[in-house]
Structure 1
Amino acid sequence: MRLVFAGTPEPALPALEAVAASRHELVGVVTRPDAPAGRGRRLVASPVARRAAELGVPVLKPEHPRDPDFQAELRALAPDCCPVVAYGAMLPQSALDIPPHGWVNLHFSLLPAWRGAAPVQHALWAGDEVTGATTFRIVRALDAGPTFGVMTERIRPTDTSGDLLERLAEGGAELLVRTLDGIEDGDIEAREQPSEGVSLAPKVEVADAEVDWSRPAVALDRQVRACTPAPGAWSTYDGERLKLGPVRPDPERSLEPGVLEVSKNAVHVGTGTCAVLLGAVQPFGKKQMPAADWARGARLVSGGRLG
């Protein structure tokens, strides 16, 4: 089949590579427009755009996929199907209707669970033991189209959203190519999603990532891992924001919520249950460092408080 791939961030790259190496013909790539980045805020192409350029594939960067000029360019490429991974824009029906086999999305959850922008983060935050990826045909309703195939992945006790997403992106790339092969061969059938088990995974904002130390240690462990690397879990110390890396519950220690216990090589914080051991932290305006190094530099003493 002739394919136009749509995607934007780094987690879409394994699927782009797999599609480019498949038996299908990759005739174009759709991605978000260049965006400002870095201290200079200069415009930078998306990871998918940069890799597509290296592959010598035409790249389309519409401000919005409803733009008539973009849709005309897409029609000119005459795709049979458009595989999608984390493109980042809602597709109007006029664009969905262009490829005869539609737009096939790789979504990083076991649909109908965790429909939305942040399925991996929400699966971790909720304490799910198993997640996966699903391929489905895009319809106007959010992540509600009929599904083609799934892969499953067990969530490990120390997984961050970055760790888990990396594995899902690799395994999902293979699933996407198998789905495209099945569509071309006519031996795969899309099935409507069940109406039961629907859950939503909206984008996790910076405000959502603030730690409430009165909550149980196990819940804070999940929250911090879900928010790593983005948007980054955080608390405050002495009025300044402190970004937190993964923490580890310590059932042998009990402290009042938010209260610090500082020793030579460790920093513990109290929660609503047992204390947690801080891992890496990043004070405002500084680089990430081990919590014990931060404590020495800031001259922390036991009895101080976060939050």
Structure 2
Amino acid sequence: MKLVFMGTPDFAVPTLTEIVMRGHEVIACYTRAPKPAGRGQAERKSPVQSAAEEFGIPVFTPKNFRDPADVATFAALGADVAVVVAYGLLLPPAVLEAPEKGCLNLHGSLLPRWRGAAPIQRAIMAGDRQTAVSVMKMEEGLDTGPVSLLDIIPIGPDMTAGELHDQMMRTGADLMGRALSALDRDALEFTPQPEDGVTYAKKIEKSESRIDFSRPAADVHNHIRGLSPFPGAWFEIELGGKPVRVKALRSTLAQGSGTPGTLIEGLTIACGDGAVRLTQVQREGKGPMDADAFLRGAGDLTGKVVA
């Protein structure tokens, strides 16, 4: 089939690669425009743009689809189908309806749970024990379209958002490949999403990153792993006479109790109910390190209170 690929971050690259390897003709790739990044603020291409250029695929980077000329350009491509993976722009009806077989979206949740921007993080932060990667047909509503295929993914008790992200992008690439093969045979069936069980995964705000140790240990643990490695859940502790911000990247539930925020032993911290043990942290301005390495530099912290 002739298709247009629409995506931006590294999460989308395996799906683009899978589509190309399966022999589909990718006639164009749409992605977000390069953005200034790094100390020099040089413009950096998106991972999808870099991959598309390696495959020799023409790349388009419209700011949005409010300009009728951008919509006309898209429609003129004459694609059989568009594949959308974490593109980052809303598609108007004229774009959704332009490909003959519509637009297929790869979404990282067990729809209708966690529609929206941050389904991977929200599933872990909520303590979900399973999620899915789903292929759905796009329509005007936010992730409301009918679902064709999905693969269930268990969420382990200590799994981080980063680990789930990486598993999803591999599983999702294969899933979309299978969906396109079925679509090419006119054998792809769609099932409307149920009306019950709808939740929304709103964008992660910076204000959510600070850890509240007054919450139950299970909630704190889910918060930490749901925001790991990015943006990272953090707390402040006094080291060398000054407050230092520390990101908690990995944790486990632990035995112990005390005033919330108090270090019981090592990097075991009392919560509102129970305790968590931090196993990997990142001190401000430093790289990730395991708990033992952090404690060698910080010394005995027993009895200190973090905030």
Aligned equivalents of 1:301, 1:50: Cα separation in 2: 46
Q: Which has the higher strand share?
A: 2
Question: Which residue identity lines up with residue 245 of structure 1 in the other structure?
Answer: L
Deviation at 1:242, TM superposition (A): 1.6
Decide whether the 8 Å contact of 2:224 with 2:248 is kept in 1. yes
Describe how 1:194-273 pairs up with structure 2 within 5 A: 194-238=194-238, 239-251=243-255, 253-262=256-265, 266-273=266-273
Deviates more, 1:224-233 or 1:290-299: 290-299
For the residue of structure 2 that corresponds to 1:43, the secondary structure is: strand
Deviation at 1:299, TM superposition (A): 4.4
Aligned equivalents of 2:181, 2:300: Cα separation in 1: 59
Deviation at 1:82, TM superposition (A): 0.3
Decide whether the 8 Å contact of 2:115 with 2:199 is kept in 1. yes
Aligned equivalents of 1:199, 1:244: Cα separation in 2: 27
For the residue of structure 2 that corresponds to 1:246, the secondary structure is: strand
Decide whether the 8 Å contact of 1:115 with 1:142 is kept in 2. yes
Deviation at 1:300, TM superposition (A): 5.0
Deviates more, 1:168-177 or 1:25-34: 168-177
Aligned equivalents of 1:245, 1:254: Cα separation in 2: 22
Question: Which residue identity lines up with residue 108 of structure 1 in the other structure?
Answer: G
Deviates more, 1:53-62 or 1:73-82: 73-82
Aligned equivalents of 1:150, 1:212: Cα separation in 2: 35
For the residue of structure 1 that corresponds to 2:250, the secondary structure is: coil
- Residue-pair matches, total: 303
Over residues 90-111 of structure 1, what are the superposed CA-to-partner deviations in whole Å (9 max), with x where a residue is unaligned? Answer: 1111211211111110001111
Decide whether the 8 Å contact of 1:66 with 1:91 is kept in 2. no
Over residues 270-302 of structure 1, what are the superposed CA-to-partner deviations in whole Å (9 max), with x where a residue is unaligned? Answer: 111222222222222233323343344344532
Over residues 220-246 of structure 1, what are the superposed CA-to-partner deviations in whole Å (9 max), with x where a residue is unaligned? Answer: 111111101111111112344221111
Deviation at 1:209, TM superposition (A): 1.9
Decide whether the 8 Å contact of 1:66 with 1:94 is kept in 2. no
Decide whether the 8 Å contact of 2:75 with 2:95 is kept in 1. no
RMSD between aligned residues: 1.6
Identity over aligned pairs, percent: 39
Deviation at 1:163, TM superposition (A): 0.6
Describe how 1:66-81 pairs up with structure 2 within 5 A: 66-81=66-81
The match for 2:282 is 282
The match for 1:157 is 157
Aligned equivalents of 2:248, 2:219: Cα separation in 1: 15
Aligned equivalents of 2:48, 2:118: Cα separation in 1: 19
The match for 2:11 is 11
Structure 1: which 5+ runs fail to align?
Answer: none
Deviation at 1:5, TM superposition (A): 0.5
Decide whether the 8 Å contact of 2:158 with 2:252 is kept in 1. no
Q: Is residue 89 from structure 1 mapped to residue 81 from structure 2 by the alignment? A: no
Aligned equivalents of 2:204, 2:172: Cα separation in 1: 22
For the residue of structure 2 that corresponds to 1:163, the secondary structure is: helix
